[in-house]
Amino acid sequence: MKKYKALLFLLTSITSFSQELNKDCEAIEQKVIEWRRDFHQNPELSNREFETAKKIAKHLKSLGIETQENVAKTGVVGILKGKKTGKVLALRADIDALPVIERNDLTFKSNVKSTYLGKEVGVMHACGHDTHIAILMGVAEVLAKNKDKINGTVKFIFQPAEEGAPEGEEGGAELMVKEGVLKNPDVDAIFGLHISSGQDVGTITYKPGGIMAASQTFRIKVKGKQSHGSRPWASIDPIMISAKIIDALQTIISREVDLTNEGAVITVGKIDAGVRSNIIPESAEMIGTIRTLDYGMQKQINDRMKEMVPAIAKSYRAEATIEIEKGYPITYNNIDLTKQVLPTLQNVAGKENVHLIKAITGAEDFSFFQKEIPGFYFFLGGKTIGNNNPYPHHTPDFQIDESGMLLGVKTMTQLTLDFLNN
């Protein structure tokens, strides 16, 4: 009977605290929205998030949180110690934007310009990282207010360069791990989220095990022979050969890998060749991405691409080289940790709003943290209910419904307390 009463008291305390927590989260919703709009209007590219980092650090310091700056170039880390010692939990938000010209008609639309791969580009938070920053800043404020209820330590990791460091630079989660962000104090587990423009506001989706694909960038260079456009027989046309290579690469996916095992994707995202209409150029260059959810399939695809590309070029009397980067690992949710946190997700969002999904071919360098320690990554709804044509991520028209961010603040806050206190 005594044990039963003690358990009942504990459960009553947890429920009561959750209600207080909801009030604290709801009280800062408008601030979270304002922060998000500021970051959206002032985006910065990977490893160049200087002003973004300053704003984050200023906020953490104002909360009395121990703050480390210039981590992995422009990253910010905050350390909040609870009333009692215990486990250490990390919460992560990515902070970089993309080289995309925004096409939205928003009062806080981005008009920022920058340089990417030697070209002037627009800069836009076209993947929702602005919401991730604002959500984690909100979580930090709520937890700092309630630090006397925390048993353990929280590390707030604001990570630069999730979209990839500029050419020739290190960056992102991999560099953060290399610089020891999961040490001193040693982190026991890490949580992260990603808002989704295609998922209804008020919902959460998750998957145990591999939830997002490994991602690799490849670069192909084709060397042919230049000629006048009117005399193609005098040339070795690198553009035509590039087209043959692109076409052939897709046969690896459609005819060589077992897609009943896991999904896989090869995409050429950029091709650069020539200067004018009547000159067949001497060379062409392509860059693209490989997405795989199985490391055996990744090796198979890599090996075949390395065989196929130079062979196709040779058959047309040209030369071609291919380089494939190591890339990001599979984003893998620790099975036991997923089981542990699922009740919290269902408690905060409602069981009917938490859905199991299949793996997707998007990629996340959050996976570098998960290679070191148990991690859990989930998706947060950012689509207005009833919108049947949401714009996808990484596009000029990308938008999210800001009302979805409050659930992100509540969920990450409650996940933290449940993990550290139970």
Rounded to whole angstroms, how far apart are CA atoms 366 and 382?
Answer: 20
User: Does 206 participate in catalysis according to the annotation?
Assistant: no
Q: Give, to the nearest 10 degrees, the angle between helix 2-27 and helix 29-41.
A: 50
Q: Are 412 and 377 in contact (CB under 8 A)?
A: no
From the list 49, 141, 163, 402, the catalytic residue is: 402
Residue 116, Cβ density class (10 Å: 0-12 exposed, 13-18 middle, ≥19 buried): middle
Q: How many helices (H) and strands (E) does the chain have?
A: 10, 18
Rounded to whole angstroms, how far apart are CA atoms 45 and 22?
Answer: 34
Q: Are 163 and 44 in contact (CB under 8 A)?
A: no
Rounded to whole angstroms, how far apart are CA atoms 46 and 74?
Answer: 9
User: Does 179 participate in catalysis according to the annotation?
Assistant: no
Report whether the peptide linkage leading into residue 185 is cis, meaning its omega lies within 30 degrees of zero.
yes
From the list 328, 332, 377, 391, the catalytic residue is: 328
SS3 222: strand
Q: Are 45 and 422 in contact (CB under 8 A)?
A: no
Q: Are 284 and 242 in contact (CB under 8 A)?
A: yes
Round the CA-based radius of gyration of the chain to a whole number and report it.
24
Cβ-proximal residues to 318 (8 Å cutoff; 6+ apart), any chain: 222, 223, 224, 225, 236, 238, 241
Residues that are catalytic: 328, 402
